[in-house]
Structure 1
Amino acid sequence: MSSAPAPTTPGPDLASGQLRNLLLATIASAVGFWAWTIVGPLGKRYAEQMQLDATQTAVLVAMPIFVGSIARVPVGALTDRYGGRVMFTVVLGTTAPLVLLTGLVGRMGSFPLLVAVAFFLGIAGTVFAVGVPFCSAWYEAHRKGFATGVFGAGMVGTAVSAFFTPRLVGAVGALGAHVVIAAVVAVTAVVCWLALRDSPVHAAKTPEPVLPKIRHAFTLKVTWQLCFLYGVVFGAFVAFSNYLPTYLNNVYAWDATAAGSRTAGFALAAVVARPVGGILADRVGPKLVTLSSLAGTAVLAVVVALQPGQERVYGPVFLLMALFLGLGTGGVFGWVGRAAPAKDVGTIGGIIAAAGGLGGYFPPLVMGATYDAEHNSYFVGLSLLAGFAVVSFLLALTVRNGGRTDERTVP
């Protein structure tokens, strides 16, 4: 039996559940992102507690990103098979005890054990690979950019983590903060099981084996093209959202709370820009949105690399960079529904999401390895970001179905 085609316009059942399920999925994503990024805001605390150098701190901060990236590939394919309701519940239900375990191990002061727990905490990051196919299935082809853009606003969880995690630690202690966050994640998992519903479009699909779908997705040229683009824009966002507290402490001597507040502002700016990028991708085409994002990122990375000395200069520069990166993440994922075969959107979306996470895994390691302690400078790492943005700009010119009037893939 072949999969039933999705309607080009929403039927009564589809329309009635669109907004409710989109908003619930976005909230679930925000909670997952909060759990996924709790190590970054506490990086300085761990470094002082365990006497870690810059490289060790970068490894610790990057570890959840690694697993949260790789695991997005099978999780995206499993979402195609079992649906978002089941997978949201499983991912968040698994994450809650891992958050609590992170707090317990952090209290013990064992660096190797904390790295191991942070590795498994990365499961929280796979929530993104669940939400993309789940939300995309609820919307018709010409509104998929809107759906994935709004869902992408769940990245606000990184801002919540940067702002609230250090304050929770200050208020109730490190272990108490992890208990609170674990409870929030557990409650959200229950809400997902009780309140989320999969799209009728997903229900009409015939289940397919997971591994062949993944292998097929890797044979498509568009998968690799969009992987690289998303790896740069989302990877830069994730890297800054996790490593910026360490960067601000090393370069500008901000303490954990002050650095966390500024990191939250960076993440919030990107979150606001992401749905705008998705909406603009629907209206003017994802190619123009993505090209604008990459051009702005390249220029601003050079400015940051020159290390302006006053906050009234580097503050707006970081905010502008966040806006450009947010536009790019919305633009690239607005491209997936157009350029990818409809039956492979979930699988390809999971692979692209994994590439974005991996794009955020390596920069903190590079930043730590190339940090010039004598001059408090990250010039090399930021210059590499500018270079990758330029290469991505050139690649974006070659991807199909990126214009306003291009043929759009209809499920």
Structure 2
Amino acid sequence: MTLQKDTTQKPSSSQWTMWMSMITMALAFVIWSMVSPIAPQIQKLYHLALFDKSLLVAIPVLLGSLLRIPLGMLADRFGGRRVYTLLMLFILIPLAGMATAKSLPLLLFWEVLLGAAGASFAVGIAHVSVWFPPEKQGLALGITAFGNIGTAIAGFIIPSLYLHVGFSNTFFIMMIPAVIGAALIAFFTKDPVRKVETNSVHTPIVHARESFWSNPQLWLLSFYYFITFGGFVAFGNYLPTLLQQQFHLSPVSSGMRAAGFVVLATVLRPIGGYLADRIAAQRLLQVTFLFLVIGSFVFAFGLHQFTLLTVAALLIAVMLGIGNGTVFKLVPHYFPSQTGKATGIVGAIGGIGGFFPPLVMGAIMQASGSFAGGLYLLGITCFIALLIALFTKKRQKGDHYVRTGSTSA
């Protein structure tokens, strides 16, 4: 006898939960990403050193990634609606703290807490996944994760908001979307009613007696997401620097191109989930990593040819978006009863993956005078992931464990 969540309630409940979670995630990601676009202005306001500015940008992203683990577990245990609502209300505290901080230590303290907004990803995925059967989770979770677009939105609106209302009022104003998000989750979403079934249609792929932490799929998906989401974050953050140094673009021009990269990758994420519902997900990952290898090497060769570099960047954005959607199609598939916990871990490792590439790229650029070595390293890493995906495909005979789009009886 297994405990399952009742997903036979009226379809509108699942749709409302999906769309409201996506909107709330977008609002949370705007808040999570709001420091980076105005970091130079904050540096001047607080007379910060260059390292202090880097720390200011890194703290919310890193902490938001790590907090995905415990908050994902809480969503599994207490329900996504309750945890999501409380998370959005909690964000009000660091927003008020940032608005009134008068020193760097206080600013950094409140920024640590502001990083909690990034954990909305794990809570949102856990909240939505329980409403959809495996053959529909790819598209549903891809739509939910479209809330990542908040990162790009922050780049567009936060600098203008800062320019018009100043530092403190910018953070006070951003309390409004936090309240809106809490209200959307509290009043327009539900947690499905649990019921006991003696013969579940959706048999968990991972045997109940197998240890969660020793399950290799957890670490394989984490590695894949380290590349796909880590690459998404890294390119979004580092592309302006690369374009300014290589082609002497203005900060505004390079920033707009980086925002375009983020938007394209985000739009392709639900499409990746949709495709994973209909094509064997492991096969889709193989195609993703193959084209990422090609895109990385073409990008490296095109460092002095703007058109070739643009084509490579667009290819990489498309494949990273599809890869992100595919990975999170597989998370609830392999961990149906621990989706929040697994999402937290995979999401945290993916978020951390966004920090290593910029550091590596900067170190290689300083040592060699070229960004090419970092891009070659990305291509080699994607090639390793391709080999792993091919190997695991052979181990999973006939795609039985990963072709979830055709599992209906």
Instruction: Give the TM-score normalised by the residue count of structure 2.
Output: 0.85
Q: Summarize the Cα distance change of 1:313–1:46 in structure 2 as closer, same or farther, 3 Å threshold.
A: farther
Distance 1:103 1:366 in 2: 33
Find the partner of 1:271 among 266, 274, 283.
Answer: 266
Alignment of structure 1 residues 191-340 onto 2, 5 Å: 191-201=184-194, 216-306=211-301, 308-309=303-304, 311-338=306-333, 340=334
Aligned residue identity for 1:4 = L
Q: What is the CA-CA distance between 1:77 and the residue it aligns to?
A: 1.0
Distance apart, 1:19 and its partner CA: 1.2
Q: Which range is displaced more, 287-296 or 134-143?
A: 287-296
| 1:8-407 matches, cutoff 5 A | 11=8, 13-46=9-42, 50=47, 52-53=49-50, 57-105=53-101, 108=102, 110=104, 113-201=106-194, 216-306=211-301, 308-309=303-304, 311-338=306-333, 340-372=334-366, 375=369, 377-399=370-392, 406=401
Distance 1:97 1:354, change over 3 A: same
CA contact (8 A) 1:58 1:243 kept: no
What is the DSSP-based 3-state SS (H/G/I as helix, E as strand, rest coil) of the residue aligned with 1:5? Answer: strand
User: Unaligned stretches of 5+ in structure 2?
Assistant: 198-207
Amino acid at match of 1:99: L
Distance across 2 between alignment mates of 1:135 and 1:309: 44
Q: In 2, are the aligned partners of 1:297 and 1:321 still within 8 Å (CA)?
A: yes
- Evaluate the alpha carbon distance shift between residue 379 and residue 346 of structure 1 in structure 2; reply closer, same or farther with a 3 A threshold: same
Provide Cα deviations, 1:269-319, integer angstroms capped at 9, x if missing partner: 011100010011111111122222222222222333346346544334323
Q: Choose 1 or 2 for highest CA Rg.
A: 2
TM-aligned CA distance change 1:204 to 1:192, over 3 Å: farther
Q: Does structure 2 conserve the Cα–Cα contact (< 8 Å) formed by 1:61 and 1:243?
A: no
Give the 3 Å change call, closer, same or farther, for CA 200–63 of structure 1 in structure 2: same
Contact 1:44 1:246 in 2 (8 A): no
Q: How many residue pairs align between the two structures? A: 391
Contact 1:42 1:256 in 2 (8 A): no
Q: Decide whether aligned partners of structure 1 residues 31 and 314 sit closer, same or farther in structure 2, where only a CA change above 3 A counts.
A: same
Task: Determine helix, strand or coil for the equivalent of 1:198.
Answer: coil
String of CA shifts for 1:237-258, please: whole Å, max 9, x gaps.
1222233344444444444443
State, as a whole percentage, how many aligned pairs show the same letter. 31
Give the partner amino acid of 1:217: F
Does the CA contact (< 8 Å) of 1:138 and 1:199 recur in 2? yes
TM-score by length of 1: 0.84
Please say which of residues 314-323 and 66-75 is displaced more in the overlay: 314-323
The root-mean-square deviation of aligned C-alpha atoms, in Å, is: 3.0
Are the equivalent residues in 2 in contact too, given 1:286–1:402 (CA < 8 A)? Answer: no
- Aligned in 2, Cα 1:320/1:17: closer, same or farther, shift over 3 Å? same
Task: Check whether the contact 1:66–1:119 (CA below 8 A) recurs between aligned residues.
Answer: no
**Mean Cα deviation higher: 352-361 or 312-321:** 312-321
Report how far residue 84 of structure 1 moved. Answer: 1.0
Contact 1:288 1:403 in 2 (8 A): no
Aligned partners of 2:95, 2:339: CA distance in 1, in Å? 30
* CA–CA distance in structure 1, aligned partners of residues 358 and 175 of structure 2: 26
Following TM superposition, by how much is the alpha carbon of 1:46 offset from its aligned partner in structure 2, in angstroms? 4.3
2-structure distance, mates of 1:279, 1:156: 18
Q: Any idea what SS the aligned residue of 2:338 has?
A: helix
Change (3 A) 1:313 1:103: farther
SS of residue in 2 equivalent to 1:383:
helix
Of 358-367 and 324-333, deviating more is 358-367
1:234 CA drift (Å):
0.7
Contact 1:245 1:263 in 2 (8 A): yes
* Cα-to-partner distance string for 1:308-365 (whole Å, 9 max, x where unaligned): 3465443343232111100000011112233x24222222122111111111233333
**How much does 1:137 deviate?**
0.6
- Greater shift after overlay, 305-314 or 232-241? 305-314
Q: Aligned residue for 2:205?
A: none
Gaps of 5+ in 1: 206-212
Give SS of 2:328's match: helix
Matched, 1:4 2:10: no
- Residue equivalent to 1:208: none
The answer to which of 32-41 and 148-157 deviates more is 32-41
